[in-house]
Chain A
Amino acid sequence: MAQVPIHPGLFTLPDDPRGPRLLAGHCAACGKHHFPAGTSCPYCSGQSCAVEAIGATGTLYLHTVVHARPPGYRGPVPYGFGVVDLSEGLRVVSRLGEASLDALRPGMSVGLEIAPLFTNDAGDEVLSFAYRPRDSGSAP
């Protein structure tokens, strides 16, 4: 079964030697990161943005658990959804690879995973990204 990213240019693929990373834009003019990567900087309008692979780990800032199935969503419910702070100063909105409220808490360390979310109509496994608690299983 083939694996395809849910959208090109968002994250590294499983065979990438850099491991699971988000592909963020980094502006040469103002130094700020943005995600997803674009050619223009959303902060200073700079036109010299390079793609950087970042965000293997981060710190959970906020989280919720989505119980009702949103229209168009192809993954399992309930699912975790939150905001993760990266060391580069970027704050990323992400699905969370943990759907239990009790297993999530602000400030916890989380790691990026690139994993199949659903199987598309062509039979391919569609990969998406999520952050999962790194100390999952241990009591807070």
Chain B
Amino acid sequence: MSRRAVYIAGVGIHPFGRFDDRDVTQLGQSAVRDALAEAGVGRGGFQAAFCGTVYTGVAAGHKVLGGMGLSGVPIVNVEAGCASGGAALGLGAAAIASGQRDCVLVFGMEKMPRGIIRSSFFPPWCEEAGFSPAPAYFALRARRLMQESGVTREHLARVSVKNHAHGVHNPFAMYRKPFTMEMVLGSQMVCDPLTLFMLCSPNEGAAAVVLSARPAPDGPPIQIRAAVLHSHVPGSALGEHTPMSGLIGDEPPSPTETAAREAYELAGVAPADLDVVELQDTDSGREILSIEELGLCARGGGGQFVADGVGEMTGKLPVNPSGGLLSKGEPLGASALGQIVELTWQLRGTADKRQVSGARCALGHTVGRGANASVIILST
């Protein structure tokens, strides 16, 4: 089956943070307005809309577009946990690649409750018994990295220091100040080995992307080479589907690994071809695990990757130049599209002090509840 090329025609983002003076619909509208304006697309200019969100509730995307006089096209709300925006983008890209649509709006927004994420995923007894806190699962995965990948507490702290250093230059990030190793290691212990400053904050924000069968009128044409969503296969007790049991023995491939494999194949690129990566860093350990699962280094090489500074702005493959979720915070439905906005700027060469010089091929990755993992590859 022949597939049409899919281009990014415009992007928009509402800053990630806390905004008590506006509701989630307004956050979404802000990002949508900016993306449509940049693409030069108005009412009647797009034929479908896909909205990623987790906590917003019934008809979330309809409220955003209805309030702007932009309803009348199919509007599909997509929940895929932390990968919701990536899932929405995949549906939009497929609609264009197949020839069903010529222009599609994809957006995501969220207004998260404060503190440790609470969701309807766990029945009340799981919360009562202590099974529900995400940081506890993050911590177990981090300790597995310490046992099997040579990762140290210093490596975990260094990831946070790196991403916060990047975030200083991102006007859309929630935290824009540098952190030292001492600050990260000395902050409150949440779940050993993860301290408070090694964990991202759930927060609020929105992002939007206009996809088109035609390149944007200005700037280098930016093409979506792959937008893949995978859910888990059973067997891993530590999988993002947070089961209460798994099997001893070889771990089955994670959804990130299988999604990455398919995305690289579809895009015809290898990890070595990437110039810049935005990946899931809900905690410092998650960044290192994502690096390994995406094949940016060998399995077990995550500690060395950090020690060698490969992912720093001066390194061979800058990781999370936006500051990552550690700096931006995580509005679930918006986070994946926030990455795509950042990577679009990187490929256009307009990322200002965060610019990775000469970036031409980029990867965005999110993974979480479901389990769902999305891997998106862009190139000029």
Contacts and interface: CB of A to CB of B under 8 A. Distances in A.
Interface of A: 6-7, 24, 32-36, 42-43, 62-68, 70-75, 79, 81-83, 85-86, 89-93, 95, 101, 106, 117-118, 126, 128
Contact of B244 (A86, A93, A117, A126): A93
A57 B205 CA distance: 47
B58 to A, nearest CB: 23
B246 A91 contact: yes
B244 A6 contact: no
Contact of A91 (B127, B192, B245): B245
Given A64-B192, A89-B247, A91-B246, A83 B129 contact: no
B129 A95 contact: yes
Contacts of A83: 140, 237-238
A122 to B, nearest CB: 14
Interface string B175-194: 00000000000001111110
Contacts of A92: 237, 244-245
A7 B248 CA distance: 25
Nearest to B235: A43
Interface residues of B, number: 38
B248 A90 contact: yes
A71 B191 contact: no
A25 to B, nearest CB: 9
Contact of B189 (A36, A62, A67): A67
Contacts of A70: 116, 127, 130, 132-133, 136
Contact of A72 (B118, B191, B192): B118
A62 B143 contact: yes
A36 B244 contact: yes
Given A64-B192, A70-B116, 17 more contacts: A6-B125, A7-B125, A35-B244, A43-B247, A62-B140, A64-B143, A66-B190, A68-B116, A70-B127, A70-B136, A72-B124, A72-B128, A83-B140, A85-B248, A89-B247, A91-B247, A93-B242
Nearest to A117: B129
